[in-house]
Amino acid sequence: DVQNGISFAMPAELPVVEAMANLDGLGVLYVDYSFLEAGDLEGLSVNIGVKQGNTELLNELNGSLAKLTQEQRSEMMGQASLRSQG
């Protein structure tokens, strides 16, 4: 827990970081992935949170994700990285 001094840093996705950036004493370090080629983005992960018990949505998401090839996922991550740079 960074705010209480238990941890010195934590990785987080952009919406979480933006919400936390307004808390006293916390700084934000944005990582610039522009140096990576699309194929190098395989080590990055994106998470989707689903409310516990919402199996219908979970199954739909998993079904859609299963249809994507690794090449498509890498391309999408590359595009998302470029968009996040503004």
pTM of the entire structure?
0.41
* Domain residue ranges of the chain, discontinuous segments joined by +: 31-84
For the stretch 13-64, pLDDT in tens is 666 666 766 666 666 666 666 666 666 556 565 666 777 788 888 888 888 8
In 3D space, the residue among 45, 20, 19 whose CA is nearest the CA of residue 7 turns out to be 20
> Has residue 72 got a pLDDT over 80?
yes
Q: How far is CA 64 from CA 15, 41, 60, 70, in A?
A: 23, 20, 6, 13
